[in-house]
Amino acid sequence: MTQIDTIPGRDSAAPTELDARTLLGVAAFQRALELPPGQEPRFDRVFERIADAFRHALAARHVTLWIPYPPGDDTPGGNPSATLSPAYTTFEDSLTGHIPLRLQISDTRLGCAFREGFPRYYPGLDADADAGEQELLRREGLAGMWVVPLIPTMHRLGTPASNPHNVLAIALLHFAPGAPAAATLADALAYFGRAAGQAIERGLWREQDLVLQQSYEALDTVADDRFGAMAAVARVVSDVMQFEACTILLADEARRVLNVLGTTGIDSRIPQRRMQYLYGVGCTGWIAAHRRAFATEDLDAVEDRAAPTFPDRVETAERRQFLGAPLLSNAGDLLGVIRLRNKRPPAGRGWPRCLNYLDRLRVERVAQLLAPLMTLLIKERQVRAVMERIQHDLTMPAMAIRDGAGMLLREPGETFRTDLERVRQRLEDIESFGEILLLNSEIMSIAPETELTLRVENTLPLSGFVAKLCKMLSPEARRRGLAGILYNQASFMSIRALWIDPRLLQIAIYNLLQNALKYSHKGAVITIEGEAARIDGQAWYMIHVKNTGIGITPDELPHIFERHYRSPRARRRSDTGLGLGLATAKDIVERHGGRLVLTRPMDPTIFTILLPGALAERKPGELKG
């Protein structure tokens, strides 16, 4: 006799002895669980190898593997009692209809093995066994059965306290009459269960490695288009995890909307209204709002839930399975959501598998892997956008300066004597583009995360740098085919000297004018004018920037001041831009104690800067004093 480790669920002070034949059986069982050479580590094949190993080692006629879902430790809305759902069976498709899709762990034979963490043998059917199960076993000529818990020994997988033995699955082994199933096999089966539990855990890690490896390989080959990067990752996840569809969504900075970033298995011609999901609305929004995984067998029948749900009855003809998890940064910030639809049946079989606790664990682990990748892609995209913005906003005026200077150099010498007005105009354009270069370099120095510091001075007249901005941008307005920029100088005479940071306020107005230039129709006029007014008894100084262009729709209104937000229409109109102009302008104005508001969305579109009249007497930091 050979002594080996103690058995899970037994007294650790009472070692168990196994004979040499049983030890050979354990070794053969472990070899059968190993991944065959050249086979990808897909998780669904783990259950197939476990079933084959049990049949080979014990001559079991049929093996069904069940996944436990422990009682809801999450919230009061969780599953009130622990259940088991089938994950794999060796029964033919014609017989699987007799297998229940949910079993309560309490008061069942499978539940005893789950609670005790040790194999149990049943020589025959219980008197109160399910009628469908009795019919199934009679048709197959089956009698005795073993119930074996599958328990890993390397690590605990975060299962709740209601699963003290860390049972990952239950193997239900059916034997034909006369097959050897003596109770003395219990110790060996406990080792088989431990080896199978380790195989499940290795399968989880291998699946994660495969997702990560193939995701990076896909990103190396994908084209840089709107959905390219994350669509490639979504294809990898759905393929490796064996689901029909996968969608990856990106959270906006305001934590109100999720935007579809990449999807596979779904018609790519998704209507624009289905490209966004609101926080807290539906299953996708629930994941974003609560930052926890969610699973349901029937998406159509699910209302807002407080915790994941696995219904007792599953309609398998028209499945609407949903499984999702949040993508969280290392700091716990929500980056987005990954969601899966419709689990595929085991290879070569038509029997649809139910969602279960391990599936939830799988998507949570994949979400942990994808979060750093999402962070990297977001940063790369932002850097790329910054480079495009720099290329556009600095290259355009630089080329204009070069072309203007070249034209002057090519002019005949006589022109400088006879047509001084023409020369002066070209020199003024060169000067304007040079000013734009200098101002853009200042804007680029203001990173989105930079804390703006005001350097206030008493500035009069405000019209001075407004006039300068209009003059600077007039050549670009002409280049874009606009009628020009109309500067109402008289209207600014009503604005007194104010305690402001002229450099930053100039940047805020410049951003509004640049927006107007980008989105105005050809031949339109941009107008900027000032005004002094009293609102609710308080004095305000206003600066209005008006343009006639594409306008702002009601759907876009809630988001126009969000960082990095650019509406689909704006992206079609102009490829360049970071979506920072309005957000930066709003921040600058608010630091002066003022407000930036959209006073009219279209025909014309009017943005208004409101500066408190108190700035004529006090500095911004003193306004609330």
The string of pLDDT tens digits covering residues 125-170 is 655 556 666 666 666 667 778 889 998 865 555 555 567 678 888 9
CATH 3.30.450.40 positions along the chain are 2-204, 207-380
Evaluate if residue 458 carries a pLDDT over 90: no
pLDDT, mean of residues 330-347: 86
Q: What is the pTM of this model?
A: 0.62
CATH 3.30.565.10 positions along the chain are 446-622
pLDDT at 609: 93
Looking at CATH, the fold of the domain delimited by 2-204 is given as Beta-Lactamase (3.30.450)
**Mean pLDDT lowest among 46-60, 257-271, 584-598:** 257-271
Evaluate if residue 272 carries a pLDDT over 60: no
pLDDT at 264: 86
pLDDT, mean of residues 458-486: 82
pLDDT at 72: 47
Burial class from Cβ neighbours inside 10 Å (0-12, 13-18, 19+) for residue 157 reads middle
Alpha helices in 341-419 (DSSP H): 357-410, 413-418
Quick one: which of 342, 414, 423, 333 has its CA closest to 378?
333
pLDDT at 478: 85
Looking at CATH, the fold of the domain delimited by 446-622 is given as Heat Shock Protein 90 (3.30.565)
Quick one: which of 397, 503, 485, 486 has its CA closest to 446?
503
pLDDT at 542: 93
Residues 6+ apart with CB under 8 A from 80: 71, 72
pLDDT at 129: 57
pLDDT at 594: 92
**Eight-class DSSP state of 520:** B
Q: Is the peptide bond before 604 cis (omega within 30 degrees of 0)?
A: yes
Q: What angle do CA 253, 254, 259 make, to 5 degrees?
A: 65
Average pLDDT, the chain: 75
- Going by pLDDT thresholds of 50, 70 and 90, the confidence category of residue 545 is very high
Looking at CATH, the fold of the domain delimited by 207-380 is given as Beta-Lactamase (3.30.450)
Helix (H) or strand (E) holding 276: strand 276-278
pLDDT at 142: 72
